[in-house]
Structure 1
């Protein structure tokens, strides 16, 4: 169940809250011994944790942060009593704090005390829920309060005078709220809502009010308000995205190569092809046909699926082609369905700005493509370990076919299952004989061949490795290999669970002695490369990454990898001009177990390699004229190509930040990937990478790095449509940059926060945020940053109808971009200026602005930007009553969007053109 934390300072406040709960249990922090009681709130799906923290700001802050990291609550409410500061606030009223002033920060000078006040705003989601739940309640006020380390009991004291003078909108005062609010923000949650019942008037009558029972009454009213807020507030269906995801996979629209030496599966192949064949003409289309190939690891499931797909394609059964994705179901980080659908959409040509933001819309787009635009297609979902990986990926039409491979038999689903057993003795011998090709040994040593296949458990993977050993030693008999394998171990061990020949993961025990024998035969250099390659993150690894892992020259590494491929232990995967290298997961598990003490040094070398080139690629993506040229990558295309090829490994390696030894290097790597992952719209990877970096930085107390990771996380969340979470992340980044006094990056955080606020419809707050960003950028002399803030401020101003001010803002942005020679962003400012001018009715000026923006977009081959500007030009010509020119520009917009692979926008532009015919 989702959990909410109701924090209190006093015992009577604690009891007032606790009275609303049922099924209460005690929880004790395993390290610190902190006690909480957790119960259910009737009528809701909340669990509620109640803690009594004691009086004072420091203790409240410490315990709030501990609760946030221990219980990870979705909502935090600080509930209790306070003293009233205004005549119209009565004892028994409840104040929901819209702001909390920390009143004791400042500087004592010759001119008196100079306030340096921190202010904490109520979290939007919690305040909104409170306003809705408590509307119509005459004794509930939404007002600011003051918090300080003092008990105020005299309305004529110097502190009371200072409050009236400098915090005159505060209606109540208490001692703990600033600590709670500060800690809740820094802990990265949604913040804390402060709910205070007024128990006295903070004057000389306080003691009398206390003796008359005002505190229990006020505490009870505050507790009732807190319960109403939780009853209104819906808990999130699922928690914040966990950072422990593997990378988004790559789906292929082309089949992997046909398996070499495929043999012995004629009956299974025939059965599978029967279900892949199209429905005869005139026969009603059946419901969606799904086939599953199941069996233990290494038994040849993927080989059978690929062979069947090649034969079906040769018959012309799938004019829409094939879609292949490895779900890595038995790796440490299996691919989720949400990740797989991104890869499949990419293979279908839906990428970049054409990609829907939310998972629900991505699934809709995927099914629509298959049902309306894609001819009959074969979808191969390889290596699934759980139905949740593939069920959401099933097409919404029966015309397509789905083929799944898995070690687990999904009996609960209506599938056509081909359950593979090990090969027969004859087929196993045939596989080895075919793999040896014209070698006389199989016919010369039939008994030894029969014994070899038995030792391999008639398992195709083991047989292929054994055949590779024989190929490499052409003058040694099969019987010698049999003797070696026998020495390596007994494949007929009976497990505790009574199964014979496989372990609890469905992996053949017959493979181990074969792998052991093959490994022992390897020269030391090859064995070392195999051990270290097994440590590489991602499904496959580039040659230069292997060279980094092994500290070898790339040519030497390539030669050793070729030798391992000849031994059947490594699979080369052609990739453009290069070759990548893949291990079967059973071979990887075997090799990892032999990596030894040098494994962490190898991973450190890989992080250095990834870090250097990711940093250079990131610098190229952000490069502007006049800056130093980054190494290696001459242009954006080269940088993007390298990042695309290494993405899976980069994302997986960045998650080594969870390991203490690699935390700093992996975190630095993660911060180099934010811009790229946003550019390619890999938002899931962006959330994963930034989340890992933020957690690691927080763990070691590196506030500046934590702030940078929070910025990246907020950007990814915002693009993924998780706007409230993005606002939280950017708020945390801002607070951390303020804490370390980094005004430059604080400006960036304000700017990012403004974008998220505008996305959430909180435009007035966005204007304030962009204004703060602009002022800070001006103060530190960053003209490019100032231009960005002006441009975003213009967008927000236009959103509330302040168009004249928006024109001024976009003009300032344009001029500043020109001054720093940021030509691409100058084009963006011209386009936005044109929109504002058109809104003001200055159509001819707008057309001129669009013309300049279009020239710049074409100069940078930014076809999506060109499509936007051409569409805006068409709108401007329509406003000027030039229908022919408008139609021409709509058609040009459609062409530019098509070149940018933005099909939705292209279709809309064509529709607008057709309406003007």
Structure 2
């Protein structure tokens, strides 16, 4: 099987192109192909398909796309091409060929050959690689993340083209490449390297006048488009052509620009990779020379020789300053603020980009480290004294006051083009006196804080490096051969360092200093979290020191919150968690959380509305927080804070369940203490209950595990049963199964008999959902026995209603009805309205199975009344669905269609995809009964599509049954038999004897008609 992404997306099997489907399926497939062999989370796939504005059905729609792709690839002999992993999917790379991988291998071979001096071989590999392109990468796909990937590929393709032409020129093929260069210059008129290559090719072909004309055309374009003169090397090339410089005729010594290295054969991710090699751009503004007699300071530290990545941020900084320089009406000083967490590489980026910017500022560059968040922070008075001395002011002439020094400083910088770099700034107050007054001088600031009060500042945030950049950085420090020889261990090392540049530099330096160590040796040392920060220390570099500087300079209440956040084993958390940990009001906790965010000790996740925003700590910062927690917080405080966090999670989960399902599960809760929020805050936090469950799902699952681990079994099993609402409605069956197992083990270890009964009941419910009816009966019988032994008649009644369902599926209608009646008596007595409404509509289903639509209707009217009093929209929708079935059975097709359409709107409103599939099944059945085969086909097809990811075999079997009846009614007997055979097999597997018998009757009729015809 082949996948092509270097052009429009294609999937090819045995030379045949597959019909991949619509835009959404193509986006999902392209995302998986780009990272074949790597698990792509459903969240990333959702963002690839929908961007940031995710609809409530986004997750299900992605699952539907994956299911459709599996069916497509399976029909061509690759049923396991897409595998499900924890929280995501992966395209299994075995047996597939991807043109991107071939392209990267060829480019790497070309680069290796070129570096070894084998230019002929290098250009051959480059040409072979470029020949794989069929147009713009992923052409036609409407996805912002994929467009970013495609843009990056286009940039790399152009760089490869330039490198290829570079070797062609060195091999004397100047005449052959002129037509290609003319086309490329026309397509990329601002690409100076291409302009220079065209000039050189023309000159070597004896066309000196045309080469000079090519330069003049380049200059006009750059001035018209950017307001910039050509770069110094392009101007020098023009002068060399004017003077017929002899060096230009010697291919072996002539290089217009050093070939840009092509990255290794990594498969890029959907995120923005900032480690791409930089194309040569027009970097120089027309700048006057430094004025005679004035000092031209150059205070920049030495550039970082092994600087890696950050090209996107570098581009952003250069573009902002180029735009400021080109705007002659600009009055404000251009200010760039580079912000990021401790150890993220802010100073390295600031120094590196400053060296690149230096030619634009011929009057000099000032630099100062303000030690902003450390105890030895430098005052603006001290910095101004240094700057004034550097600018030529004698010590005796420097004013004593801050304002006078700032005025003199601004006066000296007026009419000058200078770059002021202020590193490690702590606050706006530190930097305001150091800002010049003339917009021709630019200011570059690095900081751990946001500095939002600086007027007109452009903020550039930097995060951890991408894995390929981490590998590149380690290779440069510790040695490429050594790092790549232990690729698996290196990948582990990168993750243990949290992809933090400082940690990676320390790790690389330690490996470099100890050539007898393997990478795995260092990994073994770092795996012990209690020693990890000790190991990430080398010479003057230390991760702990870097984080400690920030920690020591925040308020004590913020430090306490920082420590307590390490109590919770959840990667992402919401603001309410902080309030629970501190046992304080939400606004006060939020203020402290904002202080941690401002200090870059905590980072925000996503761009949702602030009330739904989540937060996280970097792994190494969390390790530091755990160190401080162990040292500074008593065990009793830690335990109390953790139980409050569990209690807050349980309180909100119960509220979300109540809003979605009504007052259900009253019999199935523990006596564990809840940490309650005010009702108004609760309503704002939860909003849509299923959306809340979705946001908090990972944290809920983590809390269930952690509660079990620390001996809080009551929280563990109670959170599990309360979260069944999410697990069932959004089809998180793996989470449901996993949390059942964890909670049951915790309840058994604690000797919690009631908790064990509740989780056995939950396991039985999961068995019903997964159509494992034998297991379901075993667990439910066990739960009923346990509840009865504890004299918990309410719990027994709740479990009995599911056993009644199993009786109904086996055709034991009388026994099913008896169980339902027994359960209903108890549920009415204890006041469990939601469960009572559920039982009433299931009793109605038994009457429908018996062919008694009038009796069923009476029960459903009562169920609707009870469900509305309970506030359960979901049970109300289920009762309405069965009311539609009753109308259909009574022969009132029109009324059935009306009711099904009404309930369809409800299921879509509450996001109940499984319920929507059932309603579409009912609607299709009604249209079939009314003779509208087109409408029936549309409804049943939509039902089948939604059911594909539900895991509910009974639902899929019912749909196949109705599709068989539809095909039979339409005259397609052979197709009907296929659907009916499938349905019969599924019902047999489920031991749904009545339904299996019904299918067999229709199937016999279909086979009989088929043989007669």
More strand by share: 1
Greater gyration radius = 2
Q: Which has the higher contact order (CA 8 A, sep 6+)?
A: 1
